Amino acid sequence: MDHDFPVRAFKDDLYRQFARIGKCLSSDKRLELMHLLSQGPKSVEKLAEATEMSVANVSRHLQILLDANLVKYSKRGTYVIYCLAGPHIEGFLNALWQMSETQLADITRVKNDFLSQCEDVQTLSLNEVLCKMDEGSMILLDVRPADEFEAGHIPGAISVPMEEIHQYMQSLPKETPIAAYCRGPYCVAAAEAVEKLQREGFTAFRVEEGVYEWREFQAQR
């Protein structure tokens, strides 16, 4: 290598570019927005509703993500619809969640603190649920919003958004066990759905995994 080649300048420039992603992800709100977008495209208004932020704040965070090429957008009429810039970003996010839980004991504590409030809620693995579905002995509910179900779901699952679960219970057979999943290991909706089903006399289980984990499971088979 030519000793006149500016190695230090090259390294400084390279890691400065890498740091752009790190700085972009240093906001808990932006991480939440990306997690929501990993479930499917959403308008700014939908993201504001889901995160309980103002449209202005959501737009500001999305602009930062856009500048780092982590999200992209399209127009549908008067709405601006955002999504992740590519499937590799969803993989990166899930790797981040897993690494964080391994390295930070507080994450496990936060999860366990929540689940301890749902002491009657039992969890089945996705593999167990899929086997029971193949046997016809279990019903799987997807309790995410309908647009997320349409963007991608576990085959055989039935879309029952949380706000519709009481109405849907009327058509469910009480003799058949039910499992519910939502947005993955850090989503609370599945546990809430199971509690509601149990109060009405159903045998119900929480599934910790979501659509991403199902895709990974399928890829390994």
Calpha distance 31→13 (Å, rounded): 25
Long-range contacts, stretch 22-29, CB < 8 angstroms, 24+ apart: 24/64, 24/65, 24/67, 24/68, 24/70, 25/96, 27/61, 27/64, 29/53, 29/57, 29/61
Cα distance between the two ends of the chain? 46
Q: Which positions ≥6 away from 143 have C-beta within 8 Å?
A: 160, 161, 162, 165, 180, 181, 182, 189, 190, 193
Residue carrying structure tokens 């230090």: 8
Whether the CB-CB separation of 79 and 45 falls below 8 Å is answered with yes
Q: How far is CA 193 from CA 12, 74, 123, 128, 187, in A?
A: 50, 33, 12, 19, 11
Q: Supply the residues annotated as catalytic.
A: 182
Residue carrying structure tokens 């109405």: 167
- The number of angstroms, rounded, from the C-alpha of 51 to the middle of its chain's C-alpha atoms is 13
